[in-house]
Amino acid sequence: ELVVQFQVLNQSCQCLAWKPRPVGVWPRPGESQHVVAGYSDGTVRVFSVSRTEMELKMHPHAAALTAVTYSTDGEMILSGGKDGIVAVSSPRTGMTIHVLADHKGSPITVLQCTRKQYHELGVEGGELWLAASSDRRVSVWGSDWLRDKCELLDWLSFPAPAGPEGLDSLSPSLAAFCPWEHGVLVYVGFGLQKEALFYSLRKKQVLRKMSLPAFATSLSLSPAAPFMALGFGDRLLRLQPCPAGAPQDYAGHDDPVHLCRFAPSGRRLLTASHSAVLVWELPG
């Protein structure tokens, strides 16, 4: 059933994310859950679900937003635009703290944050985050938000053959930190081969490659078990054990699977295509 709905007139919502709860902290009675959403006019809006109201509106971008996420502690909002600009803003003050132009000129396709050990990978701060853009580049950053530090840790660029004119027709560049293999990220996108790449941030090299039936249109890594979900343009959903194992392929969508997302428990998987949202139960 539809529980609550937020509408912004004359603007399309391009991306959204739930605010994470602190680890080990149960929600207090009456505590609100928050959603951040990015819009076509370059604005970022924060909504309170329990109060069914918009709490904050920021305008950190001159172009439409294409990706948005919270930092792992929920204290910062990272947003990326169609022009490749990444902004880091505080939902407490509404101020934009960092504007990063490293991906300028290519739409941001993914923003993701993960916790890290202090001094892990030779950089201060308690958080790693990555940005991927349509031109097959991925930047990895180490951040200490309290000290206002944001340091570039790695810069990846993946080759590809000459594609058709315009990046919109190509498969998206997708990257994610690996929950079961620390210091590793997974990348899929249009390239020389149809494959998923596992890259080590410590060794600064690709550890292994996994062949795929086609270029993936969506990617999600299970937080509970070494499984990867991949969506494809031919309406196929693949559940892939890692680092090796027989994949399981499922049909069910009538259009390209442009989103797949594991639930935090890893027991359910949500997939979306043009006109359908499917929820899958993962036994065992």
Please write the tens of the pLDDT for every residue from 57-101: 999 999 999 999 999 999 999 999 999 999 999 999 999 999 999
The fold of 158-283 is Methylamine Dehydrogenase; Chain H (2.130.10)
Residue tagged 């819009």 (tokens): 39
Per-residue model confidence (pLDDT) at position 52 = 92
Q: Say if residue 275 is exposed, middle or buried (CB neighbours under 10 Å; 0-12, 13-18, 19+).
A: exposed
Amino acid 116: pLDDT: 77
User: Model-level pTM?
Assistant: 0.92
> Residue 126: what pLDDT?
85
| pLDDT value, residue 283 | 78
Can you give the pLDDT at residue 182? 87
At residue 121, the pLDDT reads 74
pLDDT at 237 over 80: yes
What's the pLDDT at 1? 86
Q: What is the pLDDT at residue 27?
A: 61
Choice between 166 and 123, residue whose per-residue pLDDT is larger:
123
Query: 268 pLDDT exceeds 90?
Result: yes
Q: Is the pLDDT of residue 168 over 70?
A: no
pLDDT tens readout for residues 142-163: 998 888 889 999 999 998 887 6
Give the mean pLDDT of 154-181. Answer: 83
Residue 36 has pLDDT above 60, yes or no: yes
Most confidently modeled range among 92-106, 162-176, 241-255: 92-106
- In angstroms, the CA 149 to CA 98 distance is 9
Flag whether pLDDT at 165 surpasses 60.
Answer: no
Q: What tens digit of pLDDT does each residue of 200-215 get?
A: 999 999 999 999 999 9
Q: Tell me, what's the pLDDT at 162?
A: 75
Kindly tell me if the per-residue pLDDT of 169 is higher than 90. Answer: no
pLDDT at 26: 66
pLDDT at residue 167 tops 60? no
Model confidence over 3-20: pLDDT tens digits? 899 999 999 999 999 999
- For the chain, give every domain's residue range: 158-283
66 — alpha (psi -120 to 50), left (phi > 0) or beta? alpha
